[in-house]
Structure 1
Amino acid sequence: MLHRRAFFAAAAAGAALVAASGVRTQPRPEKSRVTIAVGGKAAFCHLPLTLAEQLGYFRAEGVEVDIVDHPGAVRAQQALLNGQADVCAGAFAHTLGLQAVGQHVACFVLQGRAPLLAMGVSTRGFPAYQAVPDLRGRRVGVSALGASSHMTAALVAARGGLRPQDVQYMAVGTSASARAALRAGEVDAICNSEPVMTMLEQKGDIKLIADCRTLRGAAEVFGGPMPAACLYAPEDFLRRNPLTAQALANAVVRSLKWLQTAGPGDIIKAVPESQLLGDRALYLAAFDKGREAIALDGMVPAEGVRTAMAAMAAFEPAFKTDRLEPDRLYTNDFARRAKERYKV
């Protein structure tokens, strides 16, 4: 195993050619086509990825990207580990879980600086709810077991003094399936992504009890800044394909910059109709609620790594953070060069 400094020095040496040679003479990426696995592409946390695709930013960097949507983060991870994908779009916390089982992957560009998640209880199925301890013995819907929504819900429950076995967590997916599960009474509470939660909130289907769509709300649940959605890849991929990784980071950071000034009309034109849930006003309302959670420059804050490690330890007591190598969980080298290129 290469030490992080030696490993990323090798990757950086190749990727640095991009900045040194200028935009017009930029070397071609090692791979002309890349497959990115994602669990729930329509979720707001992956909006920068969607925009990089829809606005042609990946193609502008010389890479054709195939984004394969999977039913949940675990399936997307499996696709990466099985070699069916080159890169995975998922939660930063996944890099910790994978490293803990000997799979060294690294985040190389951040999409979100807070999880675009919220948690609420059913107003129809659980009208007697008053406080978190009331969740004891109840069914809580999450996008997938082991996903960020599961971790978030578990941390909210723990804050109320509940143990993992006190709550029954059920995978309900995202989008339409999540809404249907709550409305059908299959779950008493739900922790999910946007724009699902804003829709349930606006329809009066839920009473919000935790909100990680804002930096403040996320800090209350996780105890500090919590890096969220990102692109991560095996160390070997980054070492062998530094120009490709740089091209992907460039495209995502460029979309992050675009989002900083985009207006409602711009968003509606860029996002595929299939992701608007049939209600453009709702989509824009959800975007407005979670806008500050979107990363600004693609870089992972060091403090956020500590927050993620503490959250994982709280979520899974058997998780041994002392066995992790924090410096191998991420690199800001690619995002930093992209930031310089696009002046984010």
Structure 2
Amino acid sequence: MRITRRNLLEGAAAFGLASAVSRLPAYAQDASAAPEKAELMFGVGGKPLFYYLPLTIAERKGFFEEEGIKATINDFGGGAKSLQALVGGSVDIVTGAYEHTIRMQNKGQDIKAVCELGRFPGICIGVRKDLANEIKTIADLKGKNVGVTAPGSSTALLLQYALIRNGQSADAASIIGVGGGASAVAAIKKGEIAALVHLDPVITRLEVDGDITLLLDTRTEEGTRQLFGGTNPAATVYLQQSFIDANPITTQRVVNAFTKSLAWIHKASADDIADVVPEEFLLGDRELYKTGFEKSRAMYSERGLIAEEGFKSLLEMLKTLDPELANANIAFSQTFDPRFLKTA
């Protein structure tokens, strides 16, 4: 899907960001200009998850190479670790949760998203089937061991917010990091945790095998609004403002690659997706993987633009969860730079 200048300016006007669009250096839009930094290290927290599928597609379909970028991807145990790597300087760019930009702006660190990948969180809360009669609501998770990708990650935050919205404290359940992929599946099957807050294909694997019953499903707009009362931006591409300033052409090329990926995903069949991803992503069951993708397809951003409604919804969640953010005065424009989408 090609985003025209008119598209972006209309969106930017609604966001109060139109003036920012005009400040993008002209050479960043020059398709013939070489990236300032052609070799990039990307951080991600759970690459096999559908949450991060646009990264895998950009890599496997050669969209980074088309933009003159050599991408190396470092897969961490969770999104919080990817953020730490960005702050520490061991990665250049992160595909991670949008909420990290808000947290870092509140700490005085200028980190911005440049492209939305997921417009819904895509996170589900599932309880072990053998405990379904005991744990019937999110409030019933009190005192239970609940698996998340990693403490401090978006899965952990969603669990804490869901507990609060259901009359419990944020620490009512014991949060256990179980990683992504096969390790998360095993944690449920071995009975190590009572419930799991996770994403596809893990959730679909456990659903199909009859191991879990869902209490919440934010792969859909309905489920997202059920918890948040509105939309809630999820996976984004974010980086340091200092990197953007020093490498506008590189940043443009990265955004180009991700918008190509999003456009391809929206046109692709489930078979197309399964053909492209690494074999290990399928968890030994191609048909199940395809089913999981179809359940998650609606969550992918169509144009890469974050809606201000979603920013407000997310900020409200963070203010509820984190005393440090309770009185935060963060502007939408501090967390999202839409300029590079105009020629993507």
Normalised TM-score (structure 1): 0.91
**Correspondence 1:12 to 2:18:** no
Mapped partners of 1:63, 1:109: distance in 2 = 17
Give CA deviations for 1:104-148 in whole Å, capped at 9, x if unaligned: 100001110011211111112454222222222111111111111
Contact map agreement 1:8 1:239 (CA 8 A) in 2: no
Gaps of 5+ in 2: 1-15
Which residue of the partner structure matches residue 238 of structure 1? 244
**Correspondence 1:310 to 2:316:** yes
Mapped partners of 1:235, 1:321: distance in 2 = 24
Which residue of the partner structure matches residue 91 of structure 1? 97
Q: Following superposition of structure 1 onto structure 2, how do residues 329-344 of structure 1 map, counting pairs within 5 Å?
A: 329-338=335-344
Mapped partners of 2:28, 2:241: distance in 1 = 20
Which residue of the partner structure matches residue 214 of structure 2? 208
CA positional deviation for 1:167: 1.5
Which residue of the partner structure matches residue 174 of structure 2? 168
Mapped partners of 1:132, 1:40: distance in 2 = 25
SS at match of 1:208: strand
Return closer, same or farther for 1:328/1:125 CA change in 2, 3 Å cut-off: same
SS at match of 1:97: helix
Amino acid at match of 2:97: A
SS at match of 2:192: coil
CA positional deviation for 1:313: 1.2
Contact map agreement 1:142 1:173 (CA 8 A) in 2: yes
Would you identify which runs of 4 or more consecutive aligned residues in structure 1 move more than 4 Å? 4-11
Contact map agreement 2:111 2:238 (CA 8 A) in 1: yes
CA positional deviation for 1:320: 3.2
Mapped partners of 2:55, 2:125: distance in 1 = 24
Contact map agreement 1:11 1:238 (CA 8 A) in 2: no
Amino acid at match of 1:194: D
Contact map agreement 2:120 2:218 (CA 8 A) in 1: yes
Contact map agreement 1:155 1:222 (CA 8 A) in 2: no
Which residue of the partner structure matches residue 27 of structure 1? 33
- Count of residues in Structure 1 that have an aligned counterpart in Structure 2: 329
**Correspondence 1:141 to 2:151:** no
Which residue of the partner structure matches residue 46 of structure 1? 52
Mapped partners of 1:148, 1:72: distance in 2 = 9
Which residue of the partner structure matches residue 109 of structure 1? 115
Which residue of the partner structure matches residue 261 of structure 2? 255
Mapped partners of 2:91, 2:22: distance in 1 = 22
CA positional deviation for 1:264: 2.3
Contact map agreement 1:10 1:239 (CA 8 A) in 2: no
Mapped partners of 1:36, 1:132: distance in 2 = 35
Amino acid at match of 2:94: C
Which residue of the partner structure matches residue 57 of structure 1? 63
Contact map agreement 1:152 1:221 (CA 8 A) in 2: no
Contact map agreement 2:270 2:293 (CA 8 A) in 1: no
Q: Percent of counterpart pairs with the same letter?
A: 34
CA positional deviation for 1:52: 0.5
SS at match of 1:124: helix
Mapped partners of 2:145, 2:212: distance in 1 = 14
